[in-house]
Amino acid sequence: MADSFNLLSLVRPNLRDLKPYRSARDDFKEGMLLDANENPYEPFGENETTGLNRYPDPHFSALRDAISSYRNVKPEHIFLGNGSDEAIDLLIRLVCEPGKDALMITPPTYGMYKVSADIHNVTVVEYPLKPDFSLDKSDIIEKSKDVKIIFLCSPNNPTSNSFDSKELKEILDNVNCLVVVDEAYIDFSSKASLTPLLDSYPNLVILQTLSKAFGLAGIRLGMAFGSEEIIQYLMKIKPPYNVNALTQQIALNAFKSVDKVAERISSILESRKKLESELAELPSVLKIHPSDANFLLVQFKDADGTYQKLAKNGIIVRNRSNQLHCEGCLRITVGTEEENSELISTLKSL
Ligand SMILES: *Cc1c(COP(=O)(O)O)cnc(C)c1O
C-alpha cells in the first residue's frame, strides 16, 4: 500500500465532523412506532401486508449481511446505494471540493464518472488507455498527485476487456488518492474480483451492482466495498433512506437464488461465444474485441450506417464510434438466443 495514504486528509473539511441525520429508531429498536409521522395503515391497492407504510431500514442490515456472505466481504466494508451511480456520486462528493479538486478517468470508459464530476464542478483529468485498451500505469501513477480519485473500470465499458490485476495492484501501491475499481461486469469475467485486497489496501474502493449479472437493473442496487472508515463516511453522507424497501426485499430474495443467477451467467457467456463466431463471419464486420463481459465491442466497415439501419429494423445497439480508440465500433449487448439470431439475420440482410 502507498505509505502515506490518509483518508482524513482527502475528505472534504466540511464533512470530517458531519453530524448525520438520526431518527428515534437509532436509539430504540422495538416498540409502538409513533416517532416518524408515518401513516399507521397499510397502503391502498395492495392485498397483503406489505409494511410499505413504514420507512425502510436505513442501515439495510439484512441485505448487507446477505451480500457479506455471498461476496465474502465483511458487513462493515459494505455500502449500498441507489445504483452504483449513487455510490459514484457520493464518493466524489466525499473527497472532491467543488471548483477546486480533480479526479482521473481513463477513456474510453463509462460515462457516469465524468457526468457526476461535472455535476459537482470537479475537474476531470483524462489519461487514455493505450490503443490496445490496456492501462498506461506509469502515467497514471505520476499524475495521481493532482487528483483525489482515480476511476478504473474492469472489465471496462465500452472496451469489454479487464485490466491486469498486477497492474491494478501496482497502481494501488503507488498512489495516495482513492482508487475506485468499477466491477459492474465482474460476474461475467474470467478474472477474479479485487475484494480479497480490501483488507490490505485502505485506498481501494470496489463498485459492484445488481444491474447486470443479477438481471435487476430496475431495482437500482449498487454496492461499494471499501475500508470501514470510508464506508462509515458514505453512510454518514447518504440520504438516510437511499435504498427503498422494495429494493431491499427483492435483492434479499435474489441472494436466495444465486445458483440460478450462476446458470444465467453461464448461458449468457455461451450465447456470447456463439454471437461472436456468427458476427465474425459477416463481411461487414472488421473486428470483434475480446470480451470479458456481457457485451461485444464490434468494429464495422460502416458503423454509423449499420447503427441507423439496425435501428430502422427495430434493433438498438450503442454507437461508440466517436470514442477514443473505438473508431467504427458498435457496442452490442448479448441478448436472448432469439434476439441474437434476429440480430444476425438482420445484419445479413442489410
Ligand atoms: C452498467 C454499469 C454500471 C451500473 O450502474 P448502476 O447504477 O448500478 O445500474 C456501473 N458501472 C459500469 C461501468 C456499468 O457499465
In this predicted structure, what is the pLDDT of residue 47?
Answer: 77
Identify whether the C-beta of residue 215 lies closer than 8 Å to the C-beta of residue 80.
Answer: no
Confidence of residue 2 (pLDDT cuts 50, 70, 90): low
pLDDT > 70: percent of the chain: 99
Atom of ligand 1 nearest to the CA of 87: 7
220 Cα to the center of ligand 1, angstroms: 10
63 Cα to the center of ligand 1, angstroms: 19
Q: How far apart are CA 319 and CA 152, in angstroms?
A: 22
Question: What mean pLDDT is predicted for residues 212-226?
Answer: 98
Q: How far apart are CA 272 and CA 11, in angstroms?
A: 42
Atom of ligand 1 nearest to the CA of 109: 13
Identify whether the C-beta of residue 337 lies closer than 8 Å to the C-beta of residue 271.
Answer: yes
Confidence of residue 1 (pLDDT cuts 50, 70, 90): low
Atom of ligand 1 nearest to the CA of 153: 13
Report which protein residue has its CA nearest ligand 1's atom 5. 84
80 Cβ below 6 A of ligand 1: no
How confident is the model over 38-61, as pLDDT tens digits? Answer: 999 999 988 788 999 999 999 999
Name the residue type at position 33: L
In this predicted structure, what is the pLDDT of residue 45?
Answer: 85
Atom of ligand 1 nearest to the CA of 217: 9
Q: Among 106, 153, 209, 295, say which to mutate for ligand 1: greatest number of ligand atoms within 8 Å of CB.
A: 209
109 Cβ below 6 A of ligand 1: no
In this predicted structure, what is the pLDDT of residue 255?
Answer: 95
Report which protein residue has its CA nearest ligand 1's atom 11. 184
In this predicted structure, what is the pLDDT of residue 4?
Answer: 78
Identify whether the C-beta of residue 182 lies closer than 8 Å to the C-beta of residue 154.
Answer: yes
223 Cα to the center of ligand 1, angstroms: 10
In this predicted structure, what is the pLDDT of residue 46?
Answer: 80
pLDDT > 90: percent of the chain: 93
Which of 40-44, 88-92, 147-151 bottoms out in mean pLDDT, i.e. has the lowest? 40-44
How confident is the model over 246-274, as pLDDT tens digits? Answer: 999 999 999 999 999 999 999 999 999 99
How confident is the model over 132-141, as pLDDT tens digits? Answer: 999 999 999 9
209 Cβ below 6 A of ligand 1: yes
Q: How far apart are CA 49 and CA 273, in angstroms?
A: 45
How confident is the model over 166-214, as pLDDT tens digits? Answer: 999 999 999 999 999 999 999 999 999 999 999 999 999 999 999 999 9
CA angle in degrees (0–180, nearest 5) for 179-184-189: 105
Contacts 24+ apart (CB under 8 A), 265-270: 265/187, 265/188, 265/213, 268/188, 268/294, 268/334, 269/188, 269/294
